[in-house]
Structure 1
Amino acid sequence: MTERVSARLPESGEAELLGLPDGVRVLSVPVIACDASGQALQVSDVRLRCVAGGWRAGRSGT
């Protein structure tokens, strides 16, 4: 499994979908799960809303 976490400003529509006020960043966590041969079995992109003191799960449109 491969995961990469990054923080960024939300794309158009994401702020509204996640209920984010202006200036709040989104954590983007793309995940690729592979079998022993390296064949991808699952690909997902989890988006989390950053809040003071941590993060809160949000819904993604993708």
Structure 2
Amino acid sequence: MGGFFTPDPPPPSPPPPPVIVTDPEAEAAQARQDAIARNRRGLAGTIATSETGLLQPSQGVGKSLLGE
């Protein structure tokens, strides 16, 4: 506690960041799992609309031509 004429003490230094140890085998296993999941999605995973869009047959309601 500093007085009126003495400077305040400097704030304490922040603690060092924690050391993160990664397992190369775990990273490789996660990469394999991600690749398997990506391959399972296939073509349906690349369509940018929901399942109610292009994958369902149209009901004939709405526009059928661009600009109509």
Q: Calculate the TM-score normalised by the size of structure 1.
A: 0.19
Q: Which has a greater percent of strand?
A: 1
Q: Calculate the TM-score normalised by the size of structure 2.
A: 0.18
Q: Which has a greater percent of helix?
A: 2
**Greater RCO (CA < 8 Å, at least 6 residues apart):** 1
